[in-house]
């Protein structure tokens, strides 16, 4: 199994980064794509490092935000075969509420779902996609409390509601009785996601977790929504609940990353555009 970071907030000298995330995965002889960043930059990077996205067999959208879905035009232009799996509630509109009635649209670029309707496969619930490849939406109750705290909302049938992250899903790859988890932003809480996966796969070991922890300031600055104590408690919880190594970045935030690293130590690995992880 091989994971390549096609785009992330940070980058090396030869590649460019942006606020977003896109991952390419090679597993059991097939190619997979998780998210497309916020533009076509991930495709430029893929071409530079020799990853041919026309070979992707299956793609996934982790959740319905622009910084993970902005590059689908470019993907569909070069790949005519891969279906994109996403949750049914990705059809709703998503917003960040700045203050009072003022809100900013942060959902999938408008028109994409309609223009490429034949390429998207909508799901409601758990599904095995391929041998050893699973989609797992949230099963934890009360996640709208996290939506309220982070000022995230959805518009359903014209009504603005606190986001409960029903549009977010974890993609799980199984190899040699071990699990590899991919949840690009973990809006529902990484600690909750781990427990959700353990409930579905009670006798499997979680080897790795890829994705941001959504602990940065909502306006993109390096200040945390969560306190240092809360970040450290999250790190301690996930240390106890699994033996996974955590490959994180994007929306985790610099401040939270520092605090997480202090607790997780060598089980904390910083993602970067162009990073390759072989298992």
Per-residue pLDDT of the chain (279 residues; tens, 9 = 90+): 999 999 999 997 789 999 999 999 999 999 999 999 999 999 999 999 999 999 999 999 999 999 999 999 999 999 999 999 999 999 999 999 887 888 999 999 999 999 999 999 999 999 999 999 999 999 999 999 999 989 999 999 989 999 999 999 999 999 999 999 999 999 999 999 999 999 999 999 999 999 999 997 534 444 457 888 999 999 999 999 999 999 999 999 988 999 999 999 999 999 999 999 999
**What pLDDT, in 10s, does the model give residues 167-212?**
999 999 999 999 999 999 999 999 999 999 999 999 999 999 999 9
Q: Which residue is listed with tokens 């996609």?
A: 129
Q: How far apart are CA 118 and CA 58, in angstroms?
A: 14
Task: Extract the tokens encoding 236.
Answer: 């301690």
Q: How far apart are CA 256 and CA 6, in angstroms?
A: 23
Q: What is the 3-state secondary structure (H, E, C) of 122-176?
A: EECCCEEEECCEEEEECCCCCCHHHHHHCCEEEEECCEEEECCCCCCEEEEEEEC
Residue 217's pLDDT is what? 59
Residue 182's pLDDT is what? 98
Which residue, among 247, 255, 258, has the nearest Cα to 8 in the 3D structure? Answer: 247
pTM above 0.75, yes or no: yes
């Amino acid at each position: 199994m091989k994971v390549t970071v096609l785009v992330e907030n940070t980058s090396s000298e030869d590649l460019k980064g942006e606020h977003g995330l896109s991952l390419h995965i090679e597993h059991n002889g097939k190619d997979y794509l998780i998210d497309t960043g916020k533009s076509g930059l991930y495709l430029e990077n893929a071409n530079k490092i020799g990853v041919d996205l026309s070979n992707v067999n299956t793609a996934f959208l982790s959740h319905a935000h622009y910084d993970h879905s902005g590059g689908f035009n470019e993907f569909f232009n070069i790949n005519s075969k891969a279906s994109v799996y996403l949750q049914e509630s990705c059809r709703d509109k998503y917003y960040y509420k700045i203050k009072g009635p003022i809100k900013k649209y942060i959902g999938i670029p408008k028109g994409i779902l309609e223009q490429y309707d034949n390429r998207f496969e909508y799901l409601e619930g758990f599904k095995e996609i391929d041998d050893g490849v699973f989609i797992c939406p949230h099963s934890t109750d009360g996640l709208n409390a996290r939506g309220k705290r982070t000022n995230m909302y959805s518009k359903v049938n014209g009504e603005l509601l606190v986001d409960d992250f029903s549009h977010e899903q974890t993609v799980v790859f199984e190899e040699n009785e071990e699990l590899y988890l991919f949840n690009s932003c973990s809006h529902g809480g990484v600690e909750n996601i781990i427990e959700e996966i353990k409930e579905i796969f009670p006798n499997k070991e979680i080897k790795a977790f890829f994705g941001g922890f959504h602990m940065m300031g909502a306006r993109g600055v390096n200040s945390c929504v969560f306190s240092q104590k809360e970040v450290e408690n999250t790190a301690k919880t996930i240390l106890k609940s699994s033996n996974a190594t955590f490959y994180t970045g994007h929306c985790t935030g610099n401040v939270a990353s520092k605090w997480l690293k202090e607790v997780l130590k060598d089980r904390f690995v910083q993602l970067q555009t162009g990073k390759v992880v072989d298992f």
